[in-house]
Structure 1
Amino acid sequence: MKRSQFNKNRNIFPLKIEEFEKILKSEFPSNPDLSISIYEKQNKKVIVFYIAYQVEGDKVEEFLLEPLLDEKLEWTNQSILNNIPLGSGKTVEKLNDILKKLLIGGVFIYIEGENTVVEYLISKKEKRALQQSETESVVLGPKIGFTESMVTNLNIIRWTIRSKDLVLEKYMIGEREPREVRLIYLKSVANKTDINTFRQRLEELEIDVVDDSSVLLQYLEDSSLTIFPQFLTTELPDRFSYDINRGRIGVLVENSPTALIAPTTFFSFFESTEDLYMRWNVGSFLRLLRFISFFLSTVFTPLYVAAVTFHYEIIPTPLLINLGESRAAVPFPPILEALFLELMIELLRESGARLPTKIGQTIGIVGGVVVGTAAVQAGITSNVLIIFVALSALASFTAPNYLMGTTARVIRFPLIILGGLLGLVGLIYGVSFLIIHLLRLTSLGRPYLSPLYPIVWEDFNKVFFRLPASYQNKRFKSYRPKDLIRYRKEKSTKKKDIDE
């Protein structure tokens, strides 16, 4: 039978064993790991086929082939399903389904003359052990991170969120290489509109393959042109469960250790679960510090360039004298000087991230000191600018989310150019453009700057600062959850002595 004579999406059975074997070999012409075995008993033929490295070989031998070749077993589909001690057995009839399942660890049994094929999923999955997250460091709280195994990640989530309302919807995304995607939320809390929006975007997605969850989010975001991330990414199960319990929706992708969370706001990227584990006043201080650091990281160096180039009058006289002495031997204008130093910092940061851990730390520390000192002695830059650039770089590290920290690093460059060409006017234009852009952004249809715009006063104590735990009895009103109340405030604040 030629390939053009059958439709993969229709039932092509019954077939002769020899014909079916030719079809399989024609579909995998260059795959020596395709195992095909033909057995005969009582004038009946059966073919067993699978891809060797995709299945657990010992399990196939012990629990499938031994019972199948037992003389007492009658070769019919129903008899095989009843007598082979594997719980994942079912029948399939479309060739396309068979070919797809072969690639993910399917073992198939076809009895000559039957209208369907028996399938068992005995996939062999390699996975790394649970370990601490590499991209998100925490001092307090759980430190375990997600892995590339969907089974492991779902197990962690089930242990973390022990609720009967937890929903884990399954989707297979990818035309050429289908990959499992899970949509996770609490049905009694999450907003129905957000759930339907997420579902629609997943169901309408038509791509060849989902390389990673970070790639998937680029297809699901509201705007693909902005530099600001609209979905939160995390490798920490406790951060994931924190957001799910408060009405957000999560996504997990097979073979990816990174989870997606939406809807999010600009301020979500500065939250950390550590804020919950600390005293409320300390957590509030650290959160405000992160907001201030992001602002300083983006405008500190551009402000220096604008002031030194056009606005000497705003610099205090004692500092202006020191600045003049420091810049006396520098032949370049402030804009080129700042761009050179910022580029050097980015090169050191990127090289340190790509090198092995021990070497990368050496490059970051020693390289920064040596190159910075040499640049000053060579008259390429001034001491004062090195301090400004170093403070900007340190401030960008305070963002708990790597994507938002990277965003701060990138937008600093156009602001330096605007400050160097137009002074404070250019810097104000640049900042105003960013604010207008943020006002127009949405995440899953929700305003990106909420609760600041539109103003939701009730959420201020959850975003910009924290109150004591007994006052955090409501979920984020901005996300419009089904159930706004987390617990009754009257009961949580009531205290009794032991003799009452």
Structure 2
Amino acid sequence: MFKWRNGKKENETPKAHSLKIEELKQQLNAELMDTSDLEFREIYKDGEHLLISFLTSMTDVKVLEDIIIKPLQARVHSPWNLETFQACLPAAQISYANQLKEIAQAMIEGKGYLYSEGEPCGILINTGKIAERSLERAETESLVYGPKISFTESLESNMNIIRANIKDPMLVMEDIEIGARGRTKGKIVYIKDIADEKNVNTFKQRIKDLSIDHIPDSTVLAQLIEDNSWTVFPQLLTTELPDRLSIVLLKGRVGVLVDRSPAAIYGPSTFFSFFESTEDVYMRWNMGLFLRMLRFFSFFFSILLTPAYVAVLTYHYEVIPSPLLVSLGESRSNVPFPPVFEALLLEFIIELLREAGARLPTKVGQTMGIVGGIVIGQAAVDAGFTSNILIIIIALSALGSFTTPSYLMGTAVRIIRFPIILLAGLWGGVGIMVAFCFLIIHVLKLSTLGTPYLAPLYPLSMKDFGYSLLRFPFQFNYMRPLSNQPGDLKRYPQKKAKKKKDVDE
């Protein structure tokens, strides 16, 4: 005799179900709490009794009919046993089970259970229907150049896209399961001979150590496994773009895909990773370098411009040129509030408009943002609540926060601005410097999967600058980023990368 387990034979005596069909139905009903979508189909033939169990909400009835019922009906002269089931059912989709909890969990995942009375175990076969959307353009990461395809909520579909992008036998996808009740499936994705084993094990261990009922999305998982959950700065990047995940995997990073989530997590992700865009790779190096430097400049510009306005008007009039001082005086002559209150009020209004535009339907939201900003801004100036110059400064600060490719980092910029404005109103330029020094110290203390958050600036690694702060021509980026601690350091030979050959050579 043999024992079936996950489609493999073992040289042991099989553990019989020891249940009649009616007993099995009762136990399945009890295990699934008498749920209304649990269905049973019973078939009789020459004294043989067959039961098909499934959840109607998770089962495609046409698939059930085509791959189970019709093949069985075609074998009217064969006994209903495991050998017959193995011969007539799709071998790639079947597994064997005789444990009640295992059967119930499989049915929740969309499988049907086929059991013939008297057999040592039954067969689980995939008959699931899963609501999923087709491949579409990315919503949160819009691009001008490069592939536009985005991940979907289907784990199988996302795995297929990654496999299509990286046709490397060393690409590994390891199973993970998250949540005690939800039991969400996922995959840890990395390239075996490139990714640092320490980073892979860190991901595995942190996910394994989680004690939580359910993970609704990969963004929630990223918050749970990051190094410091108290900081406003995100430490793990999420992306909708399969090509972006493929690029970072080839650099030595590790990704995580979560079922029912359209975004992948990857790390280690340093501070500078949040200012990178795949367009930097697809454009010429000098254009990519310009855009990347523009994003860094916009980040600091967005944080410091409004606080600088508050500090100068409150404590440091002497640094303003005389012609501009006259204009500022005329603009603020009717404003009854101090600069700090004026700035905080306008920043709050901008945040209200931004949030309202995001929550309203798309066409209404765009109109709300544009018209609301113009009308409220003009009305605020006419009513004497604020000055024209501050309206311009606030608008420029808002634009600066929008240039960051990562929505999470852009939101962090918006939050950081408020305490710096308060400190600028209290202590002027000294307050800005205190806030700036605190930010630098805080960021220096952060890490991502054990890697310093400010790498390669701290600790200093000049060889990695072409992958973070700067964008160099491809022939100079022949090494993988050292901060990822890759197993295979070289992407391609340096001499061959710089050598150019004509066709006739």
Q: TM-score, normalised by structure 2?
A: 0.94
1:179 matched to 2:159? The reply is no
Sequence identity percentage? 49
1:53 to 40, 45, 57: 57
Supply the distance in 2 between the matched residues of 1:133 and 1:341 (Cα, whole angstroms).
32
Q: 1:12 offset after TM fit, Å?
A: 8.6
Give the superposition deviation at 1:28: 3.4
For residue 123 of structure 2, the aligned residue among 118, 130, 134 is 118
Whether 2:318 is the aligned partner of 1:313: answer yes
Larger CA deviation: 312-321 vs 64-73: 64-73
- Conservation of the 8 A alpha-carbon contact between 2:235 and 2:269: yes
Match of 2:264 among 259, 265, 268: 259
The corresponding residue for 1:109 is 114
Question: 2:43 pairs with 31, 39, 42, which one?
Answer: 39
Distance 1:73 1:412 in 2: 75
* Equivalent residue in structure 2 for 1:374, among 379, 382, 386: 379
Question: What's the offset of the Cα at 1:25?
Answer: 2.1
1:427-463 Cα distance to aligned partner (Å, 9 max, x none): 1111111111100000000000001100001111222
Q: How does 1:254-333 map to 2 (within 5 A)?
A: 254-333=259-338
Pair 1:408-2:413 in alignment: yes
Structure 1 counterpart of 2:11: none
Bigger shift: residues 436-445 or 272-281: 272-281
- 1:3 maps to which residue? none
The amino acid that maps onto 1:397 is: F
Judge conservation of contact 2:39–2:53 (CA < 8 Å) in 1: yes
Q: Distance in 2 between matches of 1:428 and 1:445?
A: 29
SS state at 2:376 partner: helix
| Count of paired positions | 490
Instruction: Extract unaligned runs of 5+ from structure 2.
Output: 1-14
The 3-state SS of whatever aligns with 2:176 is strand
Question: Aligned residue for 1:25?
Answer: 29
Report what 1:394 is aligned to: 399
Q: Which amino acid aligns with 1:304?
A: Y
| Local SS of the residue matching 1:53 | coil
Q: CA deviation at 1:218?
A: 1.0
Matches within 5 A, 1:51-450: 51-69=55-73, 70-450=75-455
What do the CA deviations read for 1:42-71 (whole angstroms, capped 9, x no partner)?
A: 333222100113122112112201233442
Cα distance in 1, alignment partners of residues 344 and 409 from structure 2 = 21
Query: Match for residue 7 of structure 2?
Result: none
Are 1:297 and 1:391, in contact at CA under 8 Å, matched by a contact in 2?
Answer: yes
Secondary structure class of the residue paired with 1:118: strand
C-alpha displacement at 1:176, in angstroms?
Answer: 0.7
In 1, distance between residues paired with 2:115 and 2:504? Answer: 74
Length-normalised TM-score, structure 1: 0.95
CA displacement, residues 330-388 of structure 1 (integer Å, 9 cap, x when unaligned):
11111111111001111111111111111111111111011000000000011111111
What CA distance in whole angstroms lies between the structure 1 residues aligned with 2:16 and 2:312? 77
Q: Please tell me whether the aligned partners of residues 16 and 119 of structure 2 are also in contact (alpha carbons under 8 angstroms).
A: no
> Residue 13 of structure 1: which of 13, 17, 20 is its match?
17
Distance 2:280 2:89 in 1: 53
**How far apart are the structure 1 equivalents of 2:378 and 2:451?**
48
Q: How far, CA to CA, are the matches of 1:446 and 1:298 in structure 2?
A: 25
